[in-house]
Structure 1
Amino acid sequence: MGLSVMPVEVLKMYNAEMMGTNDGSWAESVDLTRLIAADNEMELIDDSIFPDVTADDLAAEEDGNGNIFGGLDTIDLHGNLLISLPVGLRQLRLLTSLNLTNNRLANNCFEVISQLTSLRDLKLANNLLYGPLDPSVSNLQNLEIFDIHGNNVSTLPTNFGNLERLRILNLAENSFELLPFGILSQMPLTELNLKKNKLAKTLIEDDVEALPKLQSIDISCNQITHIVAPGTTVSLPALYQLSASMNRLKALPDVSSWSSLLTLTADENSISEFPEGFFSLEKLRHVDFSANDIRIIPPEIARMDNLAMIRLSGNPLRDKKFISATTEELKDALAARLEPPPPYDDVTSTAHTIAAAIADDAKASESPTKEVAPEEGEHDSRSDMDDFATPPTSAPHSPARSRSHTLSSQTWPIKNGGLLDRSGTQSSSLHPVVCSKIAAATRVTEIQLHHNLFATFPESLTFFANTLTALSLAHNKLVGETYLPEELELPALRELNLMNNHITSLAPLTANLRSPQLEKVDVSLNRITALPTDLRVVFPQLSVMLIANNHLIELDPESIRGLQVVDANNNDIAHLNPKIGLLGGNGGLRQLDVSGNRFRVPRFSVLERGTDATLRWLRGRVPVAEMASWKEGQGEGGQGDFDDDVD
């Protein structure tokens, strides 16, 4: 608003002559609890606005107006030009949250702030703090959140451990060269941000055995060579995210005790091998070891079932083919190395293996499988998928075949249940003559085209339009917004899998795909930045949207309204809209997965309790009027549904 002083209307709002305006009355007046004056141009706040007088002395003044701000519990003055604070702030005994980010405050501001002993949340980011942090900050013994990123602070005071309730500490973008982890380990820290400091050599030099409550730590953009001294370890049982990019790390310690770890980012370091205990991390989903010195990839990675993405580009790998391989392809290749070949001199074992294979082939030939002699290349099907959304890729790809093979010498098998499997055949199109013959001879309900070279939806799918209910084009060459250039009618389609392509938008689907019965869409592992808001308008039956591992920057409540399952893990969502909480309830959102994103609230402690807890937390941040309307729509009474969790 560009205000340089506090408006007179605010200062006189409790005066008697103001009570009759705007349909207000004295009986309706309540104490002011929040003061938001952010993004203005205030350099000073007059002492008369916050009088340095106790509440008892003010009450004794018969002609006084009292302190209109005496009941404040929240003050937000970020984005101003403040160079000092009024002394009278120390009289605000109920104040719990103070945001002074992006001002011009120096170290002397703690003369006032240190007396606000009721504070639980203090933000002083991007100010002019410098040198050692003022020891008086330790007076704030109720403090839970402390943010001083973007200053020039160099050390913490020796009495910093007096902050016995501190959970979140943000020291990023300062001048710290060393931190007292002996003190920090005794505090209930769950989040620690040390990004862009001057930390060097060993991060934790003290004799620290564990940080039992730490859930997230960011030490990126420093000059750290070791997290702990070589040969030692530190227990981090609650840690779910470690960011250590752009350091000089030579190795990571034993991570066996980091059992909750979900995301490990350590790109642009000098790490030469996977840390000890890495393969025991059952919950690990996202790993970035790109631009390091790793040469050998252990095959045990294939056993890490929950690992959804691992980046190893920029390493001097012995197997160069792994540099550009996807995570799924990498795990498939490594899985083959876990199975040792049979001994060459064990004739009996080999004979038994061959006999078993012949018997299996004989049984397969006797099974009621229909085969159509088409006019295109032969392929021996290898897909017996129960759920197309997670296609198996452990079998080796079929070798590329010569184009000189005649169409008449090939067969496309149709399996029981109407499954046409053309996966892994290096195909980029479906021959219309072949498709028309198959459609005339049998009822095809499912088509598997994953692991091929398709750049667009094949037009020949229209031959199966009336019967096709499931289609997979996963692991193909679908790019950008060009993968469905023309209208395609598949009225019976219920499930569509487009995972692991290079799609940037779902607009072609909503514009050109005519599938009113579509219920499930899997577009995981693509490059989608936003969901269209008309998904449910175009696909009224849609209930499941899997869009994990993309580049979503927001999750618009309107884009997922009406869906029952949404998986948006590992995206770039910076803020979770509280109105998403209103999508729950009767017939609404049943499963919401949003971990591994950029937003800081709700915190992992809320997310890990499941969808109901997350939606309750979000509803607690929705305006009361909208919440009441939602409750009325749910047929609830007047009982509250707000989640009281403090995060």
Structure 2
Amino acid sequence: MSRFKKGAHVDSRAGFRQEKEDCPVPYGLLKAARKSGQLNLSGRGLTEVPDSVWRLNLDTPQEAKQNVSFGAEDRWWEQTDLTKLLLSSNKLQSIPDDVKLLPALVVLDIHDNQLSSLPDSIGDLEQLQKLILSHNKLTELPLGVWRLTNLRCLHLQQNLIEQIPQDLGQLVNLDDLDLSNNHLIDIPESVANLQNLVKLDLSCNKLKSLPPAISQMKNLRMLDCSRNQMESIPPVLAQMESLEQLYLRHNKLRYLPELPCCKTLKELHCGNNQIEVLEAEHLKHLNALSLLELRDNKVKSLPEEITLLQGLERLDLTNNDISSLPCGLGTLPKLKSLSLEGNPLRAIRRDLLTKGTGELLKYLRSRVQEPDGGLKEEPRTPMTLPSQAKINVHAIKTLKTLDYSEKQDASIPDDVFDAVDGNPVANVNFSKNQLTAVPHRIVDLKDTLADINLGFNKLTTIPVDFCHLKQLVHIDLRNNLLISLPMELEGLTKLRSVILSFNRFKSFPEVLYRIPSLETILISSNQVGGIDAVQMKTLSRLSTLDLSNNDIMQVPPELGNCTSLRALMLDGNPFRNPRAAILIKGTDAVLEYLRSRIPT
């Protein structure tokens, strides 16, 4: 007995153990797969799949060769055909013809590998219903793929595919097709044969148009054509009887698509296009619409017919050229969210805009009875000073507002500050001038100033003296030339919102992490490369964070711990994760996804 304890190499089972160690797939997994019919080999660094996997249901297992007795649970001859094989997140460059040796496969997931081709024999998997090939290097697909007529889910996103053949129409049972992030310039007419398709993702390609035949897809509910080169949408799209979500972001549209009789459409996303005009014709058929997203366009006005959208719950008009709103907007019964940041609204006081959707709609309803049907301008009684600067002294005295905006002046005349004449000023608007520096006399208003708008100027720095404005609640510095903020701003203990969009920040301003009162940070359209999620979590009141259109390569998973966030915008950055499919689900889904990625 002592001889056997000291020399493990003489163990009669050593031969079997050695064989297991040579195989990159633990034998125990293969044994379990014969019972369950499922085998998960994801994330194992495999450069090729061992033959033992393909021959799992053909070869006699090792235990059958051993002279031992089996209990009922170990009867190797009572094995189950493999129906689910997961090979994702490895380093596979090819799949052999032997894949056909698993004819019972229902699910085959090979995403996140380095595949440049597939064997034609994949078409022999007649039972296959789900084929995941995303995040590879495929340039084309073998004819065998189009023989998989039982396929219900086909994911091909993040490859190098330039063309999909007419054979696509043979996959008549598909209900989920993802072709996003490829090099497609057109879609075959045969897509009309996919009558069971529910979800079609064509985003991030080079499409200039959609085939009219797409209108024949009677069961399609979600169509994503974001980030293509489309200038128009075929009107026949309106014939899609089940379409509920239509994504057209980041294209070249000049008008909303005309969708007569499209009674099912609930969400229309048209942000980041070149839309200038909204016609009544574009709106009157969208009776079922609950979400209309038009951010980052060139819309100048809303027609009164917007009131026809009685089911509208969310309207996003961020970053357009809207100067006034139709009062009827306030009568929409279900409207809960109205986003207007980045518009030159002149007829509505800024302090009203910051009070939220409810107060704004209440104000619009109160103006519905105006004879001209539009917004009534705030009363103006300008007084001309020696410098010829027109200052609304009445607004200073009654509204506590000092307005010297849209003058295109390089500096603010002293007469503007002299006009304050000791009156308390809570709001200052110096936007849309040519200021290269913050007026030094702004410190004169330090005891009462709560809201300052210096947007659309040419500011390159913010002076340290800014920290003396201890009563500041809102700061708007959008559309300037700023690259940093002074650390002294941490003394602004009442600051709740700061807008820094469209500047030249290459990093997230460090001082913002040190202002715990912040509730809103808008820093979109800069060159920010990353954020410190650990410091961000210290901002316990932060509810809105807009980081869209920056240079963020990686979103730290710890950002998911910022549970106070109610609105997190990350689109328009070059990161791979979270993917677009997660982003469109909203802030809660993104935060949950990020938390799931935190290393434990």
TM-score norm. by structure 1 comes to 0.61
Q: Alignment partner for residue 146 of structure 2, among 122, 135, 152? A: 135
Distance 1:103 1:178, change over 3 A: same
Structure 2 CA distance for aligned equivalents of residues 191 and 83 of structure 1: 26
2:57 is the alignment partner of 1:54:
yes
In 2: Cα distance, 1:398 partner to 1:409 partner: 9
The one-letter code of the counterpart of 1:477 is N
Match of 2:592 in 1: 616
Other structure's SS at 2:216 match? coil
Q: 2:457 aligns with which of 449, 474, 477?
A: 477
TM-aligned CA deviation for residue 179 of structure 1: 3.2
The 1:443–1:615 alpha-carbon spacing in structure 2 relative to 1, beyond 3 Å, is same
Equivalent position to 1:76, from 41, 63, 88: 88
Q: Which residue of 2 aligns with 1:414?
A: 396
Aligned CA distance change for structure 1 residues 409 and 255 (closer, same or farther; 3 Å) = closer
Q: CA deviation at 1:160?
A: 0.6
Out of 308, 322, 331, the position equivalent to 2:317 is: 308
SS in 2 for 1:581: helix
Separation in 2, partners of 1:432, 1:10? 84
CA drift of 1:261 comes to 0.9
User: Residue 127 of structure 1 aligns to which amino acid in structure 2?
Assistant: L
Paired residues of 1:181 and 1:204 also in contact (CA < 8 A): no
- 1:203: which partner in 2? 211
Query: C-alpha separation between the residues in 1 aligned to 2:379 and 2:86?
Result: 61
Which residue of 1 is the match for residue 351 of structure 2?
386
Task: Tell whether 2:489 aligns with 1:513.
Answer: yes
Task: Tell me, in whole angstroms, the C-alpha distance in 1 between the residues paired with 2:348 and 2:249.
Answer: 39
Kindly report which structure 2 residues correspond to 1:271-290, keeping only aligned pairs within 5 A, or say none. Answer: 276-278=281-283, 283-286=291-294
SS of the residue corresponding to residue 559 of structure 2 reads helix
Q: Relative to 1, partners in 2 of residues 1:263 and 1:525: Cα closer, same or farther, differing over 3 Å?
A: farther
Alignment partner, residue 320 of structure 2: 327
Look up the SS of the partner of 1:254 in the other structure: coil
Identity of paired residues, percent?
13
- Does the aligned pair in 2 maintain the 1:388–1:497 contact within 8 Å? no
Q: Which amino acid aligns with 2:323?
A: D
Match of 1:461 among 442, 453, 457: 442
How does 1:217-296 map onto structure 2 within 5 Å? Answer: 217-218=225-226, 220-221=228-229, 227-229=234-236, 233-234=239-240, 237-243=243-249, 245=251, 252-254=257-259, 257=262, 258-264=265-271, 276-278=281-283, 283-286=291-294
Shift of 1:134: 3.0
Tell me the CA shift for residue 242 of structure 1.
Answer: 1.3
Q: How many residues align?
A: 510
> In the superposition, relative to structure 1, how do residues 132 and 12 fare at CA in structure 2: closer, same or farther (>3 Å)?
closer
Partner of 2:197: 187
> 1:518–1:443: structure 2 CA closer, same or farther, 3 Å change rule?
same
Alpha-carbon contact 1:153-1:175 (below 8 Å) kept: no
Preserved CA contact (<8 Å) 2:393 2:419: no
Q: CA deviation at 1:527?
A: 4.2
Distance 1:415 1:499 in 2: 25
Deviation of 1:103 after TM superposition, in Å, equals 3.0
Give the SS at the match of 2:436: coil
Q: Give 1:538 shift.
A: 3.5
AA in 1 matched with 2:115: N
Write out aligned runs for 1:101-140 (5 A). 102-108=114-120, 110-111=122-123, 114=125, 117=128, 119=130, 121-123=132-134, 125-129=136-140, 134-140=145-151
The one-character-per-residue Cα deviations of 1:52-82 (angstroms, maximum 9, x if unpaired) are 1328942643459x99xx9996423666643
CA distance in structure 2 between the partners assigned to 1:408 and 1:274 by the alignment: 36
Q: For the structure 1 residues 72 and 494, does the alpha-carbon distance in structure 2 shift closer, same or farther, using more than 3 Å as the test? A: farther
Shift in Å, 1:146: 3.8
CA contact (8 A) 2:583 2:589 kept: yes
- The DSSP-based 3-state class of the residue aligned with 2:148 is helix
The one-letter amino acid paired with 2:320 is T
SS in structure 2 at match of 1:54: coil
Could you tell me which residue of structure 2 aligns to residue 498 of structure 1?
A: 476
Amino acid at match of 1:332: S
List gaps (5 residues or longer) in structure 1: 1-7, 17-30, 291-295, 310-325, 339-380, 626-647
Given that 1:569 and 1:595 are in contact with CA atoms closer than 8 Å, whether structure 2 keeps it comes out as yes
* TM-score of the superposed pair, with normalisation by structure 2: 0.65
> Is 540-549 or 430-439 further displaced after alignment?
430-439
Give the CA deviation at 1:526: 1.9
Q: In the TM superposition, what whole-angstrom CA distance separates every residue of 1:418-463 from its partner, at most 9, and x where no partner exists?
A: 5444444555434568748958x34444433334443332221222
Give secondary structure in 2 for the equivalent of 1:261. Answer: strand
Gaps of 5+ in 2: 1-19, 29-37, 68-75, 308-313, 330-345, 361-374
1:538/1:297 CA distance change after superposition, 3 Å: closer
Letter of the 1:429 partner, please give it: S
Contact 1:491 1:517 in 2 (8 A): no
Paired residues of 1:498 and 1:522 also in contact (CA < 8 A): yes
Supply the distance in 2 between the matched residues of 1:327 and 1:116 (Cα, whole angstroms): 51
State the distance in 2 between where 1:236 and 1:79 align. Answer: 40
Q: CA deviation at 1:127?
A: 2.1
C-alpha distance in 1 between matches for 2:189 and 2:570: 29
1:592 equivalent among 567, 570, 575: 567
- Superposition map of 1:523-562 within 5 A: 523=499, 525-527=501-503, 532=508, 534-547=510-523, 557-558=533-534, 560-562=536-538
Q: Tell me the alpha carbon deviations over residues 502-524 of structure 1, each in whole angstroms, 9 at most, x when there is no partner.
A: 3454x2x2445353314323326
CA contact (8 A) 2:381 2:392 kept: no
* Matched residue, 1:448: 429
Q: Quick check: 1:251–1:275 contact (8 Å CA) kept in 2?
A: no
Contact 1:240-1:260 within 8 A present in 2 as well: yes
Query: Of the candidates 155, 173, 186, which is equivalent to residue 183 of structure 2?
Result: 173
3-state SS in 2 of match to 1:619: helix
Cα distance in 2 for partners of 1:581, 1:422 equals 42
Q: For residues 160-201 of structure 1, what are the alpha-carbon distances to aligned partners after superposition, in whole Å with 9 as ceiling and x for unaligned?
A: 12234x25344842475523343334212153348336x87x
Q: Is this contact kept in 2: 1:444–1:468, CA < 8 A?
A: yes
Q: Using the alignment, how far apart are the partners of 2:508 and 2:194 within structure 1? A: 45
How far is 1:568 from its partner? 1.9
How far does residue 542 in structure 1 lie from its aligned partner after superposition? Answer: 2.3
Return the letter of the residue paired with 1:502. Answer: N
Sort the Cα spacing of 1:135 and 1:85 in 2 relative to 1 into closer, same or farther, 3 A.
same
1:132/1:153 contact within 8 Å kept: no
Q: Does 1:580 align with 2:559?
A: yes
Contact 1:132 1:154 in 2 (8 A): no
Give the C-alpha shift of residue 273 in structure 1.
9.3
Q: Please say if residues 495 and 518 of structure 2, whose CA atoms lie closer than 8 Å, have aligned partners that are also in contact.
A: yes
Report the 3-state secondary structure (helix = DSSP H, G, I; strand = E; otherwise coil) of the residue aligned with 1:284: strand
- Give the whole-Å Cα distance in 2 for the aligned partners of 1:596 and 1:423: 31
Q: CA deviation at 1:389?
A: 4.5
Whether contact under 8 Å (2:235, 2:259) holds in the other structure is: no
CA-based RMSD? 5.4
Q: How big is the shift at 1:471? A: 2.0
